[in-house]
Structures are given as C-alpha cells and as structure tokens.
Structure 1
Amino acid sequence: MEKIRRDQMKNLLVGLIVFWGVAMNAFAIEEPTFEVVKRYPQFEIRKYQAYLVAEVIVPGPAEKAGNTAFEYLGGYIFGKNKGSKKIEMTAPVSQTPVPIKIAMTAPVSQTATDDGYLVQFAMPREFTMDTLPEPNNPKVKLREMPAKTYAVITYSGTWSQSLYEEKLSLLKKSVGEAGLKMEGEPIFSRYNAPFSLPFLRRNEIWISLIL
C-alpha cells in the first residue's frame, strides 16, 4: 500500500511538472514577425521583417553567455533604464559568436571584441528606436535588425553546446543540399525559460541566406 501511495505521489509530481511546463509554453508571447517562404524536411526558409533588439557582448563559453548577458538585458527590461520603464519579455533570446560584421543604424553604436558572444533580446513591436527607453548600463545597446531571410532549424532538448553543434551541422548540410548559399554567423535562438523542461523547449538556429 505504501509503495502504491509513493508511486501515486510520484506520478502526481511528474504530472504537475509537465502541466506547468506545458502551461508556460502555451502562453503566447510576442516574437518578431516572419513569413514562412518554403519548408524542407529538416528546415524552413523564413523572411523576417525588421525588428528592434537590446543587445550586449559578453565573454564565453557559449553555455554561460546567456546567463551572463541576462544580468544586463534582464536588468534593462525590468526597469534599469531612463524612466524606469518595465518592458514585456518577448522571444527569442538570440546568441551569436563574435567578432562579426554588424550593420549599424544611427544613433546606435557597437564595439566588437576579440571573442565572446552577442546576446540579444527582441523588443516588443509597440516600440520604435525613438520610444525605447535608454539603457542605464552603457554596455546595453539598442539596434534595429534589418529585414532578412534565414534558413531555420527547430529542435527541442537541452541548450548544450554538443546538441547545438549537431543541429548546426545538420542545418548547414541540409541547406547546402538544397542548393542555397549561406552567409554570416549562425544565430542560436531560445524561446523558453531556463527552468522549462528540455523536451518542451523550442530551440532554433538561424543562418542568413544569400538570395
């Protein structure tokens, strides 16, 4: 009887964890606007409209860059800005290795480093560059990402570097086999909170296409 009760409690606990994971992932949060141009077995081509980001460059390794960046970007959207305005969280949180070539839009400036990662939070569509509050921390920059077309692979699971590299390799191979040309560094995009269950996560890798 005691074993049955323990099993029932275990199943209830697992059920609650799954429920909250599903509930968290079910709440639709805003993300940049895109159109799916074409779907392939392993990836799809998306045409993104321009969108705004808050970004910061942080040191590696890749698996710690997101946590390090959250100190700055999380602080910014939670009110560490001119006017102490809170900004709704959107998706995805994107991460790109640097140095990279970044197209600047006035009055935003960006300084590349010898190594590290550029981490970005997408900003809500209600804002423009003129209405986004200025960050208190000079390391946090605001920028408009230009409209662009990407090859995108979507997968669930952990945020480990090994899984990322496996999926990146598959994406590059599939894009090449489709006769498409890539440019620039890959963008690792995450759509879920760190405490979400790995099998419920939506992870993506974007690579810009030359059309």
Structure 2
Amino acid sequence: MNKVLSREVSTVRLSFEGGESPSNPVANDNAVERLTQAINSNATAAEALLSKISMMRENAVSQETMEAYLNKLLAAGPDKRLPFWARSKRLARFSRRARMASLRRTLDLTTPAPEAEEETVERKLGRRRRALVALLRSISTEEGLDSKEPVIVTIENRARLASKESNEDMKSRMPEGLETPNYDIVATSKHNGQTIEIRRYKPFSVCAVNMNKPRPDAAKETDNKVRVPEISGASSFGALAGYLFGKNDQSTAMKMTTPVFTSPIEQGDKQMEFVLPSSYWDDDSLGTAPKPLSGSGVSLQQRVSQDRAVLMFGGYASKKEVAKRKRELMAALKKDKQWKAEEDEATTAQYNDPFTVPWRRLNEVSIKVVPK
C-alpha cells in the first residue's frame, strides 16, 4: 500500500475509532476531491475511496450511513448542476467539470431503468451507487487505458462500445474459476457483422425456480437474502442461491457456477436456472445431489445434449436488449443454409455478477436448432 493510500486509510480508521460521527461524511473528508482525482486517471484516489467504503463496512457502520455517504458524493460530484459547455469531451483533459459530466454520462449508460418496474428515486439512486462503486473498482484496477486522456473519458467510450466487440473479446469476459456447461462449436456464420455460433452442448444439470410465481411463505427459511433486492429477478436469485449455498436437505454448500439462465417454460412463464456443479451432470449423479427444501419452489432438472444457435452481446441483458438480440438471431437463422430454429423462444444467459461494469459483461441469447 503506498503512502498516500496509507494516509487515507489511517484517516478513515481514526474517524471511526476516534468517535467522529459520519453523519455528514462527505463534508467531513475530501471525498469529492478524491473522486475528482480518480476520474482524472488517479488509481490511488479510487483505491482510497474504496478503502473508506470498506472500512465503513468493517466498522459495522449502518447501511443507511454508507448509502448517505455515496448519495452525497453523487450529489456533490456527477449529479451536481454543471454548465452546458461541460458536455464537451474535448474539454475533459483540461476541465474538472467536463470530467464530472463524462462521469455522469457513464453512470447514465450503466444504470438503465429496469423494465416492468415502477421507477422511484430510491431505485435510481441505488443503481447509481452501485455503478459508482463499480467504476471506482474499474479505475483502481484497469490496465491498458489511454494515458493521453482522463480515465473517465476512456471508460465512457468503452461503455458506449460495450456490445460491439468480437466473440473472442466477449469470451474473455467470462469469470475465471467457475464451472460452465461444456459444448463444441460445430458451425459459425456471420450476420450483419455479428458472429453466430452453433454449439453442441453436452448434458448438464440445473436447479431452477419459476420467476412468475410469488415466493411462498417458507421463502424466509429457504432463500438467501439478496444484497440488492430491487434488481430484476432478485427473489428468484435468492431462492437458487439459498439452495446452492447450503439451504438444502444435506446442508451442503456447493460452488457457484456460471451462467445464470433465464428460460421459457409453459404458459408463457419463465424460470431462472443455476448450473449445478459438474459432479451432478449425469442421470445417476443428479439423484445424489442435495434435495431442495420443502416449500422452496426449487427443482432439479437435467439438460440433455442439444444444438443451440448462440449470439453473444455485452452491456446489460435488459428486456429490451434481449428482445432485440433475439430478433437478430432469428433473422440470421432464417438466412442460414444449414440450420433452422426448432422453437420460437430464446434462453438468456448472464455470466457476470450485478456489480460488473457493462464493458466487462458477457450475455447470450440462444435458440434450439436442428439441421435443415
């Protein structure tokens, strides 16, 4: 840890160990100045802000206090009223306010409003708080950024290009060390500059829960508490996480896998699916997997070998974006000379956690196919 960061961490520690009240945390320290430095390519400043947030957690500071800290940082920084000329990216190299405007645009790009949910001020603030922390993490660890311009401008550009990388770039976003279903690529094709893969999946197993049914009363005992309850599918995620991490008949915690699937089922409903560890991927071994607790609504299912057409994309897998990608995939299959869709509904796969910034996210839509 360098001297600047060490001094900042020491200041944070003293503020809590020494009894200073963090009722107005932004006013009590130089957080806004640190944020200004961070978006101007100062990784140490980003680390200092992240260290302060971590220190608040370690000292059992209330969730409300941490949220207030981030809310005030947003209000005093990117969400502060800025002059119209600050919109110019060209000025970001010279102007603090132009860099803040770039940060604001990046937050706007990375915090899309969820579909089918009533927007509220608190939901919007919650998304912006998470996005700000994710951006600080990115600044503190990012390598290979253009040193000729402020880091926030480079990040804004990456956010805008999140969905346009090649398949190879997309696959590099897959989290390391997590099991994922095995497949062979049996064919590829191009459609409007995008690569469509025909994958032959090998059998695997999932735990699944209906996303359209309300969670039962027993969910309090069977589900894991979700840190971000307002995100889409949070209750279903909590149900599957509860099962996977030990709330099952064997009290066995299993390793996390990737991706999280959203698949169509009967009567227009959808289900969320976690991939089970590979030790439960065949018929015999699935029978030895821990059983879901009664009332959890979780079921264990096996996926047989099948061919699927897959289109990868970055950014967020919003309802609107998924519908767009499905249309693109179906259009590509209609022109394909070897493969055709066997079904109309698409399955969505999301490989990254909700706190991953858009330009590092990997998503897929896939449709079952058969030879023509």
Task: Show the counterpart of 2:358.
Answer: 198
TM-score where L is the length of structure 1:
0.81
Distance in 1, Cα, partners of 2:335 & 2:326: 14
Q: Deviations for 1:128-171, whole angstroms, at most 9, x for unmatched residues?
A: 21221001144111011010000000010112111111111111
Task: Show the counterpart of 1:109.
Answer: none
- 8 Å CA contact 1:59–1:115 kept in 2: the answer is no
Structure (1 or 2) with the greater strand fraction: 1
- 8 Å CA contact 2:173–2:361 kept in 1: the answer is no
Q: CA separation of 1:187/1:18 partners in 2, compared to 1, >3 Å: closer, same or farther?
A: farther
Q: Report the alpha carbon displacement of residue 72 of structure 1 after superposing the two structures with TM.
A: 1.1
- Which 5+ residue runs of structure 1 have no aligned equivalent? 100-113
Asked if residue 186 in structure 1 is aligned to residue 307 in structure 2, the reply is no
Q: CA separation of 1:164/1:20 partners in 2, compared to 1, >3 Å: closer, same or farther?
A: farther
- 8 Å CA contact 2:173–2:362 kept in 1: the answer is no
- 8 Å CA contact 1:66–1:95 kept in 2: the answer is no
Q: CA separation of 1:207/1:141 partners in 2, compared to 1, >3 Å: closer, same or farther?
A: same
Distance in 2, Cα, partners of 1:119 & 1:207: 16
Higher RCO (CA-CA < 8 Å; seq separation 6+): 1
Structure with bigger gyration radius? 2
Q: Report the alpha carbon displacement of residue 26 of structure 1 after superposing the two structures with TM.
A: 4.7
Q: Report the alpha carbon displacement of residue 6 of structure 1 after superposing the two structures with TM.
A: 5.7
Which of 184, 191, 201 is equivalent to 1:48?
201
Which of 9, 16, 36 is equivalent to 2:185?
36
Q: Report the alpha carbon displacement of residue 97 of structure 1 after superposing the two structures with TM.
A: 2.7
Does 180-189 or 199-208 show the bigger shift?
180-189
Correspondences of 1:8-27 after superposition (within 5 Å)? 8-10=37-39, 11=41, 12=43, 13=46, 14=135, 16-17=137-138, 25-27=174-176
Helix, strand or coil at the partner of 1:38: strand
Distance in 2, Cα, partners of 1:158 & 1:165: 12
Distance in 2, Cα, partners of 1:135 & 1:30: 21
Task: Show the counterpart of 2:257.
Answer: 90
Distance in 1, Cα, partners of 2:142 & 2:241: 21
Q: CA separation of 1:153/1:6 partners in 2, compared to 1, >3 Å: closer, same or farther?
A: closer
Distance in 2, Cα, partners of 1:33 & 1:91: 11
Asked if residue 172 in structure 1 is aligned to residue 320 in structure 2, the reply is no
- 8 Å CA contact 1:92–1:189 kept in 2: the answer is yes
Asked if residue 154 in structure 1 is aligned to residue 307 in structure 2, the reply is no
- 8 Å CA contact 1:21–1:200 kept in 2: the answer is no
Q: Percent same amino acid among aligned pairs?
A: 26
Pairs aligned (count): 194
Helix, strand or coil at the partner of 1:85: coil
| Alignment RMSD (CA, Å) | 2.8
Q: CA separation of 1:4/1:81 partners in 2, compared to 1, >3 Å: closer, same or farther?
A: closer
